[in-house]
Amino acid sequence: MRILLIVLCLLSVAAQATVYKWVDKDGNIHYSDQPHSNAQQVQLNENTDNQVSMAPVKPVNIAGATAVTEQKAIYQVSILSPHHEETIRDNAGDFTVTGDVQPQLASGHYLQLYIDGIATTDAQTSALFSLKDIDRGEHKLQLKVIQQNGKVLASSSEITIFLHQAGLIKPAIPAPSVKRANG
């Protein structure tokens, strides 16, 4: 068994070291580990192995870094207008949401408005959101403070608003029924 392993190891080393190169009748260059007519053996340099070296990693005080991040992440977020269960009447479905965040946002932290659980605006540093073309009906609004990587740091209470739009469809008026007398 040992002899078989030794022979296989020697064959694999020998097979890895031999590469053949030849040019076909169309001028295309080919490489192979199998000999071919008119093939020349290619000598490989010893320095063809890729070596990557990295600088040593400096240890970081994880407890201190976490404390600083958590300290920056303490926010009080609220929606100032519209108010909870307010009815908004706008036929175009346009209205403005005003929020408040305390303390002021740190660098890399943003506000994002969610309508019915879906982020409907881009993250921004301003607490004023102008919404356009919102469908009529009941909607739930929530304001969140997020980091650049999308991690939610704080969120406001969810409020419910009702958006009313005047309808253009008039109810159908039934035609008056005419009774005929038989006679």
What's the CATH code of the domain at 102? 2.60.40.10
Domain count, the chain: 1
| Predicted local confidence at residue 71, as pLDDT | 46
Residue 51 lies in a domain: no
Q: DSSP secondary-structure letter at 72?
A: H
Inside any domain, residue 132: yes
- 80, part of any domain: yes
User: Which is it for the CA torsion 111, 112, 114, 118, positive or negative?
Assistant: negative
User: pLDDT by residue (tens digit) across 125-172?
Assistant: 999 999 999 998 999 999 999 998 889 999 999 999 999 988 666 666
Lowest mean pLDDT among 7-11, 19-23, 38-42, 102-106: 7-11
- Residue 68: its pLDDT value, please? 45
Q: Tell me, what DSSP letter sits at residue 12?
A: H
Average pLDDT, the chain: 80
Has residue 99 been placed in a domain?
yes
Cβ pair 102, 76 in contact under 8 A:
yes
User: Given this model, what pLDDT does residue 121 score?
Assistant: 83
Distance CA 160, CA 166 (A): 20
Q: What pLDDT score was predicted for residue 170? A: 61
> Does any domain span residue 68?
no
Residue 22 placed within a domain: no
Pairing of strands 29-32, 19-23: antiparallel
pLDDT tens-place string over residues 12-43: 555 555 788 888 888 888 888 888 888 888 77
pLDDT band at 109 (very low <50, low <70, confident <90, very high): very high
Range of the domain at 127: 75-164
User: How far apart are the two ends of the chain, measured CA to CA in Å?
Assistant: 119
